[in-house]
Amino acid sequence: MKNRVISGLIYLGILIGVFALKIFVNDLCFDAFVWFLAIVGTFEITRAFGDSMTKVQRVLTFIFAIIVIPTCALVEYFFGYGLHVTCVCFFALAISLLSLLVFDHDATTLENIGASLFAAVYPALLLCLLVLTNHIGQDPVLEGFDKVIGTQSDVFNSNLAIMLIFVASPLSDVFAFFFGITLKKVFPKKLAPTLSPNKTIVGFVGGLIGGMIAAGLTYFVYNLALDTGYAFNWAWLPVYLAIGLLTALATSFGDLVESCIKRKKGLKDMGKIMPGHGGVLDRIDGTIFATVAVYICFAVIHLFL
């Protein structure tokens, strides 16, 4: 428990430092951090798959992880087409893996191609959404929100989106833990006993509450600290509560996905880089899927405005 707390505090300190660099230096500083997570996470997932992937497939997957994050970040930062180039990179990887059926026929199977594609998607491809979220305020359409809704465009900028991900996701976990610990004797029913025996339905509900509280507080505190001269816009609070709910759902789903992978591969942890937590993937499993939820929510809001 002591190691877990210390590792958690170190991770929190790194997050705060990287976020400060994003605000006061450049958004690309945060992308560099995401790049590190993608590379270490890809190493962990390919190691977990072991013989399910050939050496050539592991190399191709690593090359993809090394290239796709900085390419997405730089193209999005300078031109605004990060999502497009990400798709191009993934298609190039898919074609390369499929070509092994011809050029390395004996060692290549449909199963290990599937494993390689999975290792590329989780975590590197999904982390590209975190990069895109990091630059969401640079979208000229999103920057025009103030013209559409009559309020500050900061309601949907990248700083608030990143804060939402890294506050709502862990606070959801904290609430889930304490609800589960304090109320499991009264409500002992398990959420997914096969995948994660320690998770209870009451803990899951607590996580949803925690996500909503975190989103509401993040939106309120950010606008309070922003001090732009605008009055606090209560109209957007229900929207952020809904985003917090979806973020908590995604976080819980990410935890279950990670648990399922480890159970199928007979692993306790994906790595040892964070004592008490395990590997990078053990730490960011919920965050990855929380990112997907936040990014999609922002995109959907844009479509309806």
Q: What is the pLDDT of residues 213-259, one digit of tens each?
A: 999 998 888 877 765 445 556 778 899 999 999 999 999 999 999 98
Q: What is each CA distance from 137 to 144, 169, 232, 284, in whole angstroms?
A: 10, 21, 20, 23
Q: pLDDT band at 6, cuts 50/70/90?
A: confident
Those residues whose C-beta lies under 8 Å from the C-beta of residue 278, and which sit 6 or more positions away, are 268, 269, 270, 271, 272
Percent of the chain with pLDDT over 90: 61
- Compute the half-sphere exposure of residue 169: CA atoms within 13 Å on the CB side of its CA: 24
Q: What pTM was computed for the model?
A: 0.90
Q: Residue 80: name the closest of 137, 26, 162 by CA.
A: 137
Q: Given a cut of 70, is residue 154 above it in pLDDT?
A: no
Q: What are phi and psi of 196, to 5 degrees?
A: -145, 90
Reported as type and span, the H/E element at residue 190 is strand 190-192
